[in-house]
Amino acid sequence: MKRKPMMAGNWKMNKTISEAKELALALKASAGAETKVDVVLCPPFLAIPTVAGAVAGSNIKVAAQDFFWKEKGAYTGEISAQMIKDGGCASVVIGHSERRGRFGKVEDDLVGEGLGPFGDNNTTVNTKTKAALDAGLLPIVCCGETLAERKTGKTDLVVKSQVLAALAGLSGEEIAKVVIAYEPVWAIGTGEVCDSAEANRVLGMIRGALAELVGDTAQAMQILYGGSVAPDNIEELMAQPEIDGGLVGGASLVAEKFQALIDAAAKARGGCCGCGG
């Protein structure tokens, strides 16, 4: 089945408001008319309205990097679904490993699930996914194993349980609206991209888990790969049939690099029949 690719740039804690505007305007100029790829920018909260304003009138969508599921109230430091929507977001990233306290590199083996400073875990990810859907936001739900889990053969177990936990209690109709992003923790920000065939295998496993929940509808769902995606590895990744695009950190911070990723996704899958034509 032909699925439209998505290229989502997760800017993480980078870019001041003026820097964010500059990057968004550059991408609007180069990718604003893109129709073959869903282009999504995920700026820091503070820059969301500015970025949304900068890309207004183009095909580029804006997403938040997180939110809190309560509607409003005494939750110091938090931001609601309604607030990010009001700021111009159509979508939201949920359960990024950095928010689950599962960091790559040094911290990888030091910090366990839910023990990091930001406190996301499978339960909060589930609550946030439901709340995002209720608010009419497209959830981009992250999953991925740590290096220690991979080394001990737990990749599929961990990833599948994260996906099933995130979607627990949702209707088939709701699940169909969710985008899954597989981001092996050890590949994030390390320059060590996951082997494309292995990424494809894990994504296929995820699609199989989705099919257990929603049957053939799983074939239409977008599943992304994230972790050191860059212009020099995107073609190989996009050549894999299960990979529907990328959730990109570092390479999304430079307009030319992110544009190269968008172009590669359009070329690989954006054609009339997936032929690139």
Establish if 229 lies at the interface with ligand 13P (CB under 6 A).
yes
Q: What's the rounded Cα separation, in Å, for the pair 218 and 144?
A: 19
Main-chain dihedrals φ then ψ at residue 54, nearest 5 degrees? -65, -35
Q: What's the rounded Cα separation, in Å, for the pair 107 and 215?
A: 38
Structure tokens at 165: 């936990």
Instruction: Tally the residues of the chain.
Output: 277
Residue 163: half-sphere exposure toward Cβ, Cα within 13 Å: 29
Name which position in 88, 95, 227, 270 contacts ligand 13P (CB under 6 A): 227
Q: Other C-beta atoms within 10 Å of 144: how many? A: 29
- Is 183 noted as a catalytic residue in this protein? yes
Q: What's the rounded Cα separation, in Å, for the pair 151 and 52?
A: 41
Establish if 260 lies at the interface with ligand 13P (CB under 6 A).
no
Q: 59: closest CA among 84, 85, 86, 28?
A: 28
Q: Which of residues 167-226 bind ligand 13P (CB under 6 A)?
A: 183, 188-189, 226
Establish if 257 lies at the interface with ligand 13P (CB under 6 A).
no
Establish if 20 lies at the interface with ligand 13P (CB under 6 A).
no
**Nearest residue to the partner ligand 13P, using Cβ:** 249
Residue 208: half-sphere exposure toward Cβ, Cα within 13 Å: 11
Establish if 102 lies at the interface with ligand 13P (CB under 6 A).
no
Smallest gap, in angstroms, from Cβ of residue 250 to ligand 13P?
4
Active-site position among 96, 98, 145, 149: 96
Establish if 101 lies at the interface with ligand 13P (CB under 6 A).
no
Active-site position among 34, 98, 149, 183: 183
Closer residue to ligand 13P, CB minimum distance, 147 or 213: 147
- Is 96 noted as a catalytic residue in this protein? yes
Binding-site ranges for ligand 13P (CB under 6 A): 10, 96, 183, 188-189, 226-229, 247-251
